[in-house]
Amino acid sequence: MPRRPLLEFEKPLVELEQQIEQIRQLARDSEVDVSQQLHQLESLAARRRQEIFQGLTPAQKIQVARHPHRPSTLDFIQMFCDDWIELHGDRRGNDDQALVGGVGRLGDQPVLLIGHQKGRDTKENVARNFGMATPGGYRKAMRLMEHADRFRLPILSFIDTPGAYAGLQAEEQGQGEAIAVNLREMFRLRVPVIATVIGEGGSGGALGIGVADRLLMFEHSVYTVASPEACASILWRDAAKAPDAATALRITGVDLLELGVVDEVLEEPSGGNNWAPLEAGQTLRAALERHLAELLALSERELRDSRYRKFRAMGRFVEGNSQNPGKSD
């Protein structure tokens, strides 16, 4: 069985993983009972993994968010969505594979599901453009959201992108305009919208499907205005200072919950979602069902008004000598 790729800060687990695999191989090749030793080593590895992941820095969380085995949009859809039917195309001649969408059921509730989609290997990542959507991808997403609005289907979006594709052709096709239209039109939607950052949420590429009534985020996901590498290059002209930029940007779930950007941070299994994807899927499904039930109880007017107030409240600050705390500039 191929060993799971370990991140740099997981290297202390390498020796334990090797011992566990050797004992498993021994059990397969002989009739020796090694269940007790195997249980002891697996328990020790689980404890060490938990200790490591409880103290991750923002820079290390980025590595977890980018892990190649982290569950993707299609993985989660397959875990908890019945009757999934993918819909294609922006009706302008494009069908971006970096952003997928379709209709399905979450329990008994028909929903529209959209999200960024990365690949598992180099070949698939090239086909999916590493999860970086083009203008056609955002226009496809908007077409599907308008479909959902017309037929009163709640919208579930899954964010996992380093950012919108910034190539020359994307700029020529109106990348900025496509994202801006999505931002404007998502505020007008009359149905509940729940967005979840399942991996990496980068810049306008994330916002293009991220204007939501509720924004959820896994604890080792990141949500940022720019990648730490780009930020370090801009501020200090040194990409090696990316870890410092990651801390300064406040990109983790704990920071963003404190800032009022996200509404809930979802707990991950020990070692991250890539270690127990089915458990992560159960956690996400329960959260989606809970928030969806709350939002479905609101009227269309209440939904749009609360969505507007949610985003208007972001970015407020209080000056030291201000007589009107909470008032934004």
Are residues 147 and 22 part of one domain? Answer: no
Residue corresponding to tokens 């930020």: 231
Residue 29 structure tokens: 């090749």
Burial of 272 (0-12, 13-18, 19+ CB in 10 A): buried
Asked whether residue 320 is domain-assigned, the answer is no
DSSP H helices, 238-276, are 242-249, 253-259
Check residue 321 and give its pLDDT.
63
Name the domain count of the chain: 2
- 46 alpha carbon, distance to own chain's centre: 25
Q: How far apart are the first and last CA of the chain?
A: 58
Are residues 44 and 80 part of one domain? Answer: no
Are residues 66 and 16 part of one domain? Answer: no
Asked whether residue 251 is domain-assigned, the answer is yes
Are residues 226 and 118 part of one domain? Answer: yes
Neighbours of 238 (CB within 10 A): 11
Q: How many residues does the chain have?
A: 329
- Residue 75: C-alpha distances to residues 106, 116, 198, 237, 301 (Å): 14, 12, 11, 38, 34
- The DSSP line for 16-36 is HHHHHHHHHHHHHHS----HH
Task: Report the sign of the C-alpha dihedral through residues 15, 50, 70, 27, in that order.
Answer: positive
Are residues 93 and 195 part of one domain? Answer: yes
Which of the residues in the chain have pLDDT under 70?
1-4, 31-32, 317-318, 320-329
Asked whether residue 27 is domain-assigned, the answer is yes
Check residue 329 and give its pLDDT.
47
Are residues 119 and 48 part of one domain? Answer: no
Are residues 194 and 49 part of one domain? Answer: no
Are residues 48 and 106 part of one domain? Answer: no
Q: Which domain holds residue 172?
A: 62-312
Residue 67 structure tokens: 């892990």
Asked whether residue 14 is domain-assigned, the answer is yes
Torsion angle of the four alpha carbons 253, 196, 117, 315, in this order, in degrees rounded to the nearest 10:
-60
The Cα–Cα gap between 266 and 261 comes to 14
Are residues 278 and 226 part of one domain? Answer: yes
The Cα–Cα gap between 129 and 116 comes to 10
Are residues 269 and 229 part of one domain? Answer: yes
Asked whether residue 318 is domain-assigned, the answer is no
The Cα–Cα gap between 11 and 9 comes to 6
| Domain CATH number, residue 229 | 3.90.226.10
pLDDT tens, position by position, 240-277: 899 999 999 999 999 999 999 999 999 999 888 998 99
Check residue 4 and give its pLDDT.
65
Are residues 146 and 232 part of one domain? Answer: yes
Are residues 23 and 165 part of one domain? Answer: no
Look at residues 55, 74, 90 and tell me which one is the last residue of a structural domain. 55
Check residue 11 and give its pLDDT.
75
The Cα–Cα gap between 189 and 282 comes to 28
For 158, the 3-state DSSP assignment is strand
Asked whether residue 140 is domain-assigned, the answer is yes
- Residue 108: C-alpha distances to residues 81, 115, 167, 289 (Å): 10, 21, 41, 10
Asked whether residue 73 is domain-assigned, the answer is yes
Asked whether residue 261 is domain-assigned, the answer is yes
Contact 147, 108 (CB under 8 A): no
Residue 157, φ and ψ in degrees, nearest 5: -115, 145
Check residue 322 and give its pLDDT.
54
